[in-house]
Amino acid sequence: MKETMWFGVIALLSSAVVSAQDTESEHARKTLEIYTHIIGIESSKNLGNVPKVANYLAGELIDAGIPEDDVEVVPVGETAALIARYRGDGSSGKAPILLLGHMDVVEAFEEDWERPPFELTKDDTYFYARGTIDNKFGIAQVTSTFIRLKKEGFVPNRDLIIAFSGDEESTMASTRMLAYEREDLAEAEFALNSDAGGGTLTADGESVVYRIQAAEKTYVTWELTVRDPGGHSSRPRPDNAIYDLANAITKIQNYRFPVRWNDMTLEYFEETGQRLGGELGEAMIEFARNPENQEAADRLAIEPSYVGSTRTTCVVTMLRAGHAENALPQSATATVNCRVFPGDPVADVEQTLRQIIGNEAIEFDETYAPTEGPISPLREDIRAAVSEAVHARYPGVRIIAYMESGGTDGMHFRSAGIPTWAVSGRFMNPDDMYAHGLNERAPIKAFYDALDHWSTILKALAGD
């Protein structure tokens, strides 16, 4: 089986649109081998497959020379976490660095995809599969970097610790365990997350900025339910659970939360707008200079890649209703997922939703307690280490902190008192971001360009 997989890896390498030097190094081949294997494991929720990913990665690290006692697969319900300690000599006297990522992925249904979602395929430009970006790109790169450094004989001046979660895309139970229950991880000075951050490119491949994620919005989900006595479908009545819920959904769709900003988001839009140019870039600059400029805010509100940095957002993501085709519905439920701007209390968001819906009979059920994480102010040593890695590929590109519109494991580590910055090695056009969607893809060039990213950063922060 391993031999068959290796032939597949060679086939992928042979036609990649990158230089031979990029693809034929031992590190490149190992990274692609890991990437291919873990993408082939369908690690979405409730399947019990995340431990397969964790055990595979654990075996690769042990084979590379990480002592077995320093590699741990921790079961958490049907999922698992991976902890691997790369021991340093302690010469710096500094606490460890955590390396974060998640091994699970969002569900993908093969009948909806143009390509098999759990098999790495490619064309001349992209790798395709669920997890190619979110987040098997990151965990493959970090894991292979540990292997590379070990084989090179690198001895860090402090411990480096992988802490990969197994259910970041759902309940984050494994994330909470890692962040709040492991005293050995709590001693870390800071964490670097592979699941966000990264460089922005134009459609022509020109670099815009490199973004270090230093904050993220609060993730919160409600289930909104309408209940009704129901009845026979041949005797329709004015009160219908599905119609009442549909009215509520329409009101959520049409509501736009007020504009919010902080110094970090304004700097982000100023820098990105200057480099991006054009009509969209001008709107970013106008927003940065006056976030109360309604025209600029409205322009950014229609951009999926940027609207989350301007306000709280709520969107309906799932529906379930009715119990029989010939019966009036007795209940109808919508899942509403919100990403709350830092500083906006979750309770206020719920109250706003209740007010705009205007139906007191609708039940609100918060699916689990949200985590409101602090901002991690960007440190100069982090900026310098990331700059060294990034400028080797894109000289002179601006390195800026930003707020993630989505949610990552970082929220819990920040809440646990561990400063966390997300510093993915990928550079890509935001329009290529299909994470969580159909036909998720990663630029082949981004994959190979990132091969030195983590080793450069770790040597800068934990080397001589």
Q: For 220-230, write each residue's pLDDT tens digit.
A: 999 999 999 99
CA angle 416, 195, 315 (to 5 degrees): 90
Per-residue pLDDT at 302 exceeds 70: yes
All domains of the chain, ordered by start, with CATH?
Answer: 2-196+407-462 (3.40.630.10), 218-366 (3.30.70.360)
Q: Which residues of 46-79 are buried (b: 16+ CB within 10 A; e: fewer)?
A: eeebbbbbbebbbebbeebebeeeebbbbebeeb
Nearest in space to 121 (alpha carbons), one of 449, 441, 461? 441
For residues 251-267, average pLDDT:
95
Question: Which DSSP helix (H) or strand (E) runs through 56?
Answer: helix 50-63
Specify the higher pLDDT residue, 439 or 5.
Answer: 439
Peptide bond into 135 cis (omega under 30): yes
Strand 79-86 relative to strand 160-165, pairing: antiparallel
Full-model pTM? 0.85
Give the pLDDT of residue 18. 52
Collapsing DSSP to helix, strand or coil, 428 comes out as strand
Give the pLDDT of residue 407. 85
320-324: long-range pairs with CB below 8 Å, 24+ = 321/241, 321/242, 321/245, 322/241, 322/242, 323/230
For residues 176-185, average pLDDT:
98
For residues 145-163, average pLDDT:
98
